[in-house]
Amino acid sequence: MITSVGVLIPARDEETRLPACLRALAAALRELPPGLERRVCVIADRCRDSTADLARDAGTEVLVNTRDLTIGAIRALGARHLLRGLDHHASARTLLLSTDADTVVDRDWAVRHVHRADAGWDAVAGTAELNARLAPPAQPRYEALLANVRNPAGHGNVYGANLAIRASAYHAVGGFLPLRTAEDHDLWRRLAHAGFRLAYAEEAKVMTSARLDGRAPDGLSTLLRALTTSGRLDRRAERRLG
């Protein structure tokens, strides 16, 4: 049974969106059993605004990064901090959760992921709904992409904004690598190759920003921008789904 949960949230100049993210996350963590330890860490990445102060005011642990690191390195930094603080729990009973500062989790989000882990899954990829519809040419293109990656195992999407990994599995494959993009997909593939049990969970839901100017290069916003303009995707954009 899972006895501890650590939630990592990369954030770069997210003072506008971070408060909603943290409020929703706090509500989700309150749904967990009282005896289950939970920690949250915001990694304030080269912020020029009040992101770090807002996180501290919300009672969240904050790591301030001033170096030019990739998103993969940022997630790894947060994971290392959280798992070090939870190492008095067995790693097989610790669940690392990843989301984003422009994302709002459902109230039962943490409970859903913990239930999956308690059922024996080592990593769980939830779903991410956009918080606004795209322009008419882009919306059907986006929906077609979602449909194309669906497979017999489930919805087929992997988002850093909605990902859970058992700490023992995370350590076994080396965690997030310092990649510029698709660090979530890379970790998922390595977990699969190592033989860990992976699940696509329709019931673990978040709502994420439909903005076209996201912080991570070649992230979801890059894909949405490509769909909104030409509708043509390069290989890096396509990797954001499936």
pLDDT of residue 234: 47
- Residue 142: partners with Cβ closer than 8 Å, 6 or more residues away: 130, 134, 224, 227
Is residue 66 within 8 Å of 150, Cβ to Cβ?
Answer: no
Average predicted confidence (pLDDT) for the chain = 92
pLDDT of residue 136: 81
Q: What is the CA radius of gyration of the chain?
A: 17
pLDDT of residue 216: 66
Is residue 76 predicted with pLDDT exceeding 60? yes
pLDDT of residue 217: 63
pLDDT of residue 169: 98
pLDDT digits (tens, 9 = 90+) for 185-234: 999 999 999 999 999 999 999 999 877 676 666 667 777 777 777 655 44
Is residue 127 within 8 Å of 206, Cβ to Cβ?
Answer: yes
What's the CATH architecture for 4-132+155-210? Alpha-Beta Complex (3.90)
Is residue 179 within 8 Å of 236, Cβ to Cβ?
Answer: no
pLDDT of residue 215: 64
pLDDT of residue 50: 98
pLDDT of residue 8: 98
pLDDT digits (tens, 9 = 90+) for 113-155: 999 999 999 999 999 999 888 888 888 888 888 889 999 999 9
pLDDT digits (tens, 9 = 90+) for 4-63: 999 999 999 999 999 999 999 999 999 999 999 999 999 999 999 999 999 999 999 999
111-120 long-range CB contacts below 8 Å, 24 or more apart?
A: 111/28, 111/31, 111/32, 112/201, 112/203, 112/204, 112/205, 113/164, 113/201, 113/204, 114/2, 114/5, 114/32, 114/36, 116/164, 116/199, 116/201, 116/204, 117/2, 117/164, 117/166, 118/1, 118/2, 120/197
pLDDT of residue 214: 64
Find the mean pLDDT for residues 159-169.
97
Using the 8-state DSSP alphabet, how is residue 159 labeled?
Answer: -
Q: How far apart are CA 88 and CA 164, in angstroms?
A: 19
